[in-house]
Structure formats: C-alpha cells, structure tokens
C-alpha cells in the first residue's frame, strides 16, 4: 500500500507540473515529407523587446514546449540546418493555459524550387544523410495491399511471386516498425501491415552505430501514420481482387479481398491510434522444372510439371498511446497482435528415368503424382513501452522495453500416388514442426546537443529464446500405419544473449553533414538438442564502426559517402543439424557450429534536385566474411540434401538509380533501376 501511495503522488506531481504558467507548444516537420524535425532551434521574443529571448529545442519527434509565457505579442523564430528559417507572430492573451500552434512545416533549402513549381506535390523520394525516404501514399497500386506491396515499388527492393524479399540483392536485412526492431521474419511481419496505414518507408543503407548491427544489406523502417494534428481521424478501405488473367488448371480459384480501418485521436497531451486489418490474398501458379543427379555411374532425371499455388490469410490489430504531461516527460506504449496462415499447394506429376552413363541404357522409368501441402502458420504479439525525460540542459534520456511472443508452426503432407490411380498411395509422409519464440529487448539512450553536433550514447540488452520441435512420420504403402522416423525428428533450442554499447556524433560543418560512431556487441549463442549431445556454444565480441558524410555542393546537388560494419546472425533452420524433409525431392539440414556472417557495407552516391523532380544514383559494395550458403549433395537418386555451411568470402557490387518527375500538375512518375553483380570465393570448411 505504501508503494502504491508513492506512485500516486508521483503521477500527480507529473501531471500538474505545468500549471500556473502560460505555455507555447507545437510540432515541427518537413513541409514535403511530413518527417519530424528533431532538435530544431525555437526562439521566442517579445515584439517590443527582441532582446528578451526564451530558447528551446524540439525533441526527437519534432515537438517543442515553451513555458513561462505571459499575456503579450511574441515573435517565434524557428531554425534548422538545411531548411529555410521561419518567423511566426502570435498574440498570447491568456494569463495561464496552453497555446497550441499545431504542425509547422519548414521548407528544405534544396527543395524550394520544386515546392514552388509543383505547388505542394510531395516528392516520392527524399534522400538524407543515411537513408532514402519513400512516401507510401504515392504508390497507388499498393492501396488495399500490405507493406510487401509498397516495397515492390522501391527500386532497391525485389519481391518475388511468393513474397520473398531481397534488398540490394540480399535476403539479409533488419525490419523496423516505427523504429522498433522485430525478431520475426520479414515476410511474416510485412504481410501483416496494411499499406493504407503506412506513412513512409525508410531504406537505411549504411546504418549508424545507434541501430542494431544486424542485417547485411541494411535496414527497412516502416513508419505508420499517426493521429490527426488536432482531433479525430478515421480511415477505412475495402479491397476486392479481379479474376486471374491466366489459367493454370489449379484445383481451386484464388480469392483476393480484404478490409482495414484505422482510428486516430490527437488532442492536448494525448496521441492515440488503433487499426484493424484482414486480408485474403491467394496466388495461383504452375511449376515446370527438371532436376537430375549422377550417382555411382547412374544418371537420374525427374522432370516435373503441375500446380504450385498459395492460399494466404492475414489479420491483426495495432494500438498505440502517447501521453506528454509536461515539457520534460513523455510516455508511449503500443500493442500489436496478429496472425497469418499460408497454405502452399504443390501437386506435381513426375516422369522419372534412370540411365547407365557408360552404356546409355535406360534402367527404369517411373511416373507418379506427388501431392504436397505445406502449412505455415504464425500467431504473434508485440508489446512496447517507452519513457523519455528531457533535462534542463535540453539533453534527453529514453528508456525502452520491447517484448515479442510468437508461435510459428505448421506441417507438410507429402503423398506419392500412382499416376493412374490416386487412391493407390505409394508413400505418405507427415512432417510437423513448432517454433515458439520469446524475445526481450531493453534499451537506454542518451542524447545531448553541443555546438559541434549531437552526441548519442546508449546500452541495449537482447535476449531471444527459440525452441524447435520437429516430428517426421511416414508409411510405406496403402493402409500401413504412420511411423515416427527418428532420423528426421528432433527437439532443439537456441538461446541468444547480446549486450550492446554505442556512441556516435552527428552534426554539420559549413556544407558538410556527418555522422560517425562505434558500436560494441558481446554476443552469446547456445544450441541444445534432446539427443544427449553437449551444448554448442559461441561467444563473440565485436566492434561495429560507421561513418556517413554528405557534402552540399550547392542547394540542389549533394554527394554522399558511407560505411557500416554489419552482422547476419544464423536462423534456427541454419543451425538445426537434423534433416527436415519438406518436399518430395529435398532434405534440408543445418550446422550448429555455423558462424555469423560479418559484412562491410560501402556506398557512394549523389542526389540532384531540379525544378520538376529529383534524381539519385548510388553505387555500393558488400564485403562478406564467412558467408552462409546452402550446398546441395545427393541423398539418393531422387532426393537432394541441402546443407547450410560457411563458404568463405564473397562480395556483392551493385548500383541503383531513381528518378522522380512531375511533368504536369498532380502527376508523379518514378523510375528505378538496380543491377547487381554478386561474386563469391568458395572455401568450404
């Protein structure tokens, strides 16, 4: 009871600390992108006495809060590097209370010509020191879809027909949602976020030290829409897909429909938003292929043709709440709950033959039908809580907690049937697996503005525990019972513990913008199984330096250079040494001794703004040590064994180009181009 009373007193003192004095407040943002402007200078002076000045910095979300205002007329001067200084005059006629100036947009110096000529049309892409920002509402074809559909429109990102995503030619990248990392795989989390709720996508290609070191290609940050500047906002969308264009003789027609609704409220000290979404988005397709093996002088070929389609269903709810009782304190909390089901059908007709290579004699021919059904299901919950305190010297301290819980499970039903009588089962296998995930992340970040720039430092604790329960059952003909095959069954557990420290400095000097920093991570990984083996432990200590430079040659031309050291950590699949048979013709197997990949990211580029558009060009390189590749070996004549292993060094070279044009009023055109050239040096270990 005593602790409870203390808490009540603390909260009351929190809430009334601003009473008894006048207050000016507002929100600073980029006039073109609506991106918050952190640590901008806000000065307030009386019109009749310009020497009487009160000063303040906007916080990391662009908000400012100035107390001690009396009844008078004031001039407000807002300044930010790279933006046109703004003057605002107000008449404050209350002795106490708050005057909310709402959202205040500052115009970037490099975009002034465009903002005048285009009459307020926002650019598709804005390049900053370490990232490229793409406005989601410019991509009309993504409306009604998911975050995955938005990413399809970004030149540096490729999404294939099954939703597999690569960034700059690599599958390894870190996903953030509103700046919060997630341990879920990219396809799962991105398929849960409705496109209509996304404000922008930030592609961070040379991340600074304040970010996690994970992700060899960089970071994708999905920023969702906030509540209105003042009052309620309600958005809803309904989607229905037209019939497919091409027929593949599939067993069932694909269904495509969905709906989402979002509600936002912002008033005074409160900022609230919530959204619901449901999406049914099937894909109908066909597979035509040929696989062959050579083993002991016998050549085996098993060409195949048939259906390969996906049935996909997603639904989720997201809620966030922000409260700022005074200029010194702010609390934000969020909950995200979602679920995803994906059925992959692969009904394939095989025409196998075996041939003696020495004599070219056909030894046998077999035709059979493989009915394959894979379910991948996931239920997940994400909770976050952040508290920020601003000190008298305008420095800030932020404490954050993020907890994730997910149940990722599914099965594979694999039946080999006689081609002329599907009731005659030649072989039936049933593979089930569960992967529950629990992850906790605690952070403490400190920021202070100095004359030379902004100093940031912090500590992060990460704990991730993931179990794997895999059981493989099979029978050998019609009517025989399913029997557990211990060779393909196992229970495993992976535990990752990471301590991280970082420090970085960012600022401007004349025409040069810079960010430089260093991150240290102490990582512990433990792999265990139920086979009686000793745990496999990996301890690593590594430094991750980063530097980003941007030089403003002129107001419309900028050059940039960047370097960041990254790490790509191994997944459960890559660590599991026990074979999993998820397809008629493949086994997949990992290695608990696999080492993480370490990557050096290098990039150089330029950004050119002109009257009716903008252009950017980047060239980049990934230098990878201990690259993890999947190496194929022959398990038997018609089954390949795919084994994950460290395969030496590799490098990836690429360039990307983006061009945004506004040829006529209210029209935007985006061109993108991205060739990639990977090169590997194989050294199997």
The per-residue pLDDT for range 93-137, each reduced to its tens digit, is: 765 577 888 888 887 764 433 333 334 445 567 777 788 888 887
Distance CA 179, CA 171 (A): 20
pLDDT at 242 over 50: yes
Distances (CA, A) of 104 to 29, 44, 123, 425, 515: 6, 15, 19, 70, 26
Query: Which helix (DSSP H) or strand (DSSP E) does residue 354 occupy?
Result: strand 329-356
DSSP states of 490-525: EEEEEEEEEEEEEEEEEEEETTEEEEEEEEEEEEEE
* 630-644 tens-digit pLDDT: 888 887 777 888 899
Task: Identify whether the C-beta of residue 49 lies closer than 8 Å to the C-beta of residue 97.
Answer: no
pLDDT top residue among 30 and 517 = 517
Asked if residues 546 and 207 have their Cβ atoms less than 8 Å apart, the reply is yes
Tell me the domains of the chain and their CATH numbers: 2-107 (2.60.40.10), 125-682 (2.40.170.20)
Q: Is 540 helix (H, G, I), strand (E, B) or coil?
A: strand
pLDDT in tens, 26-63: 888 887 667 788 778 888 888 777 666 677 778 777 88
Q: How confident is the model at residue 676 (pLDDT cuts 50, 70, 90)?
A: low
Q: What is the DSSP string of 231-268?
A: EEEEEEEEEEPPPPSS----SS---EEEEEEEEEEEET
Tokens for 365, please give them.
């021919």
Q: Tell me the average pLDDT across 544-552.
A: 94
The angle subtended at Cα 220 by Cα 214 and Cα 225, nearest 5°, is 135
C-alpha dist (Å) from residue 234 to 197, 263, 274, 682: 11, 5, 10, 55
Q: Nearest 5°: phi and psi at 137?
A: -75, -5
| pLDDT of 237 strictly over 90 | no
Percent of the chain with pLDDT over 70: 87
Run of H or E residues at 176:
strand 174-177
Distance CA 448, CA 384 (A): 24
Q: In whole angstroms, what is the distance from residue 564 CA to residue 542 CA?
A: 13
User: What was the pLDDT predicted at 539?
Assistant: 96
Residue 458 — very low, low, confident or very high, per pLDDT cuts 50/70/90? Answer: very high
Summarize pLDDT for 245-275 with one digit per residue, the tens.
777 778 888 898 988 888 888 887 888 989 8
Confidence of residue 607 (pLDDT cuts 50, 70, 90): confident
Of the pLDDT bands very low, low, confident and very high (cuts 50, 70, 90), residue 422 is low
- The answer, yes or no, to whether residue 401 has pLDDT greater than 90, is yes
Which residues pair with residue 315 across a beta bridge? 278, 339
Please give the DSSP secondary-structure letter assigned to residue 553: E
pLDDT band at 227 (very low <50, low <70, confident <90, very high): low
Q: Which stretches within 44-125 are classed as H helix?
A: 112-117
Of the CA atoms within 13 Å of residue 547, those in its CB half-sphere come to: 3
With a cut of 60, say whether residue 684 has pLDDT above it.
no
pLDDT at 286: 87
- What is the distance, to the nearest Å, from the Cα of residue 380 to the centroid of all Cα atoms in its chain? 16
| Of the candidates 31, 177, 25, the residue with the CA atom closest to the CA atom of residue 102 | 25
At 609 the pLDDT is 80
What tokens were used for 623? 């230098």
d(CA 221, CA 131): 10
Supply the pLDDT for residue 598: 96
Instruction: Name the CA dihedral angle for 420, 421, 426, 430, rounded to a multiple of 10 degrees.
Output: 120
Q: What is the pLDDT of residue 386?
A: 95
The whole-chain average pLDDT of the chain stands at 82
Looking at the predicted structure, is the pLDDT value of residue 442 above 90? yes
- The pLDDT tens digits for 567-604 are 999 888 889 888 877 666 788 889 999 999 999 999 99
The angle at the Cα of 567, spanning 219 to 645, to the nearest 5 degrees, equals: 120
CA distance 412 to 370: 12
Handedness of CA 223, 229, 233, 239 (dihedral sign): negative
**Residue 7: pLDDT above 70?**
no
Q: Hey, which bits of 530-596 come out as E strands?
A: 536-554, 557-568, 580-583, 586-589
Please give the share of the chain, as a percent, with pLDDT higher than 90.
Answer: 26
Are the C-beta atoms of residues 210 and 504 closer than 8 Å to each other? Answer: yes
Distances (CA, A) of 343 to 3, 409, 435, 598: 51, 12, 17, 34
pLDDT digits (tens, 9 = 90+) for 191-213: 778 887 888 889 898 899 999 99
The more confidently predicted of residues 245 and 648 is: 648
Determine the pLDDT at residue 543: 97
What's the whole-number mean pLDDT along residues 608-626? 86
Residue 277, pLDDT above cutoff 80? yes
Task: Please state the separation of Cα 20 from the chain's center in Å.
Answer: 45
Banded pLDDT at 547 (limits 50, 70, 90)? very high
Specify the higher pLDDT residue, 357 or 146. Answer: 357
Over residues 537-549, the mean pLDDT reads: 96
Residue 682: the pLDDT is 38
Q: How far apart are CA 249 and CA 110, in angstroms?
A: 54
Residue pointed to by tokens 């938005």: 150
Q: What is the mean pLDDT of residues 493-505?
A: 96
pLDDT at residue 627 in the model: 92
Nearest-angstrom CA–CA distance, 242 and 290: 33
Is residue 130 exposed (0-12), middle (13-18) or buried (19+ Cβ within 10 Å)? buried
């Amino acid at each position: 009871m005593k602790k409870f009373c203390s808490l009540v007193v603390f909260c009351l003192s929190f809430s009334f600390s601003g009473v008894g004095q006048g207050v000016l407040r507002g929100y600073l943002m980029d006039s073109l992108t609506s991106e918050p402007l952190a640590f901008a200078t806000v000065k307030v002076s009386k019109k009749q006495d310009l020497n009487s000045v009160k000063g303040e910095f906007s916080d990391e979300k662009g908000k400012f809060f100035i107390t001690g205002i009396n009844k008078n007329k004031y001039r407000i001067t807002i300044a930010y590097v790279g933006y046109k200084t703004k003057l605002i005059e107000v008449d404050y006629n209350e002795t106490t209370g708050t005057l909310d100036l709402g959202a205040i947009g500052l115009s970037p110096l490099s975009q002034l010509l465009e903002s005048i000529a285009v009459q307020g049309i926002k650019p598709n892409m804005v390049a900053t020191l370490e990232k490229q920002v793409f406005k989601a509402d410019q991509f009309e074809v993504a409306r009604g879809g998911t975050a995955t559909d938005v990413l399809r429109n970004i030149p540096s990102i490729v999404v294939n027909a099954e939703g597999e995503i690569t960034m700059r030619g690599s599958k390894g990248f870190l996903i953030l949602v509103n700046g919060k990392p997630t341990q879920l795989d990219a396809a799962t989390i991105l398929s849960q976020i409705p496109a209509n709720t996304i404000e922008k996508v930030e592609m961070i290609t040379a991340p600074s030290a304040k970010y996690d070191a994970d992700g060899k290609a960089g970071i994708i940050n999905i920023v969702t829409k906030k509540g209105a500047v003042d009052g309620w906002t309600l958005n809803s969308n309904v989607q229905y897909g037209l019939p497919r264009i091409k027929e593949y003789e599939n067993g069932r027609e694909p269904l495509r429909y969905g709906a989402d609704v979002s509600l936002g409220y912002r008033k005074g000290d409160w900022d609230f938003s919530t959204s619901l979404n449901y999406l049914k988005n099937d894909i109908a397709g066909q597979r035509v292929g040929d696989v062959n093996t050579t083993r002991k002088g016998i050549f085996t070929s098993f060409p195949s043709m048939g259906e390969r389609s996906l049935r996909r269903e997603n639904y989720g709810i997201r809620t966030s709440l922000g409260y700022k009782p005074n200029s010194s304190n702010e609390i934000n909390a969020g909950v995200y709950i979602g679920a995803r089901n994906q059925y992959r059908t692969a009904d394939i007709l095989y025409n196998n033959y075996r041939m003696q290579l020495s004599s070219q004699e056909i030894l046998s021919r077999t035709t059979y039908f493989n009915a394959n059904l894979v379910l991948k299901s996931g239920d997940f919950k994400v909770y976050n809580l952040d508290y920020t305190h601003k000190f008298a010297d305008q420095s800030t301290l932020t404490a954050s907690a993020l907890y994730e819980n997910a149940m990722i499970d599914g099965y594979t039903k694999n039946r080999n049937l006689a081609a002329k009588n599907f009731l005659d089962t030649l072989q039936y296998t049933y593979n089930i697996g569960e992967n529950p995930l629990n992850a906790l992340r605690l952070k403490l970040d400190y920021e202070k503005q100095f004359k030379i720039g902004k100093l940031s430092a912090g500590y992060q604790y990460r704990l991730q525990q993931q179990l794997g329960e895999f059981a493989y059952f099979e029978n050998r003909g019609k009517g025989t019972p399913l029997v557990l095959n211990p060779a393909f069954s196992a229970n495993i557990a992976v535990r990752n513990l990471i301590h991280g420290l970082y420090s970085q400095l960012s600022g401007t000097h004349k025409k040069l913008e810079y960010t430089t920093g260093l991150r240290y991570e102490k990582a512990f990984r433990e792999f265990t199984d139920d086979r009686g083996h000793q745990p496999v432990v990996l301890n690593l200590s590594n430094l991750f330096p980063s530097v980003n430079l941007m030089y403003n040659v002129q107001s419309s031309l900028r050059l940039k250079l960047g370097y960041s050291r990254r790490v790509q950590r191994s997944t459960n699949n890559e660590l599991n040494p026990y074979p999993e048979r998820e397809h008629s013709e493949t086994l997949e197997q990992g290695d608990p001794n696999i080492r993480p990949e370490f990557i050096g990211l290098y990039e150089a580029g330029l950004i050119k703004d002109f009257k009716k558009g903008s252009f950017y060009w980047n060239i980049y390189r990934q230098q990878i040590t201990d690259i993890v590749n999947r190496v194929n070996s022959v398990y038997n004549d018609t089954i390949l064994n795919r084994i994950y292993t460290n395969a030496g060094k590799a490098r990836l070279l690429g360039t990307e180009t983006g061009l945004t044009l506004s040829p006529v009023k209210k029209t935007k055109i985006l061109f993108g181009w991205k060739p990639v050239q990977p090169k590997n040096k194989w050294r199997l270990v």
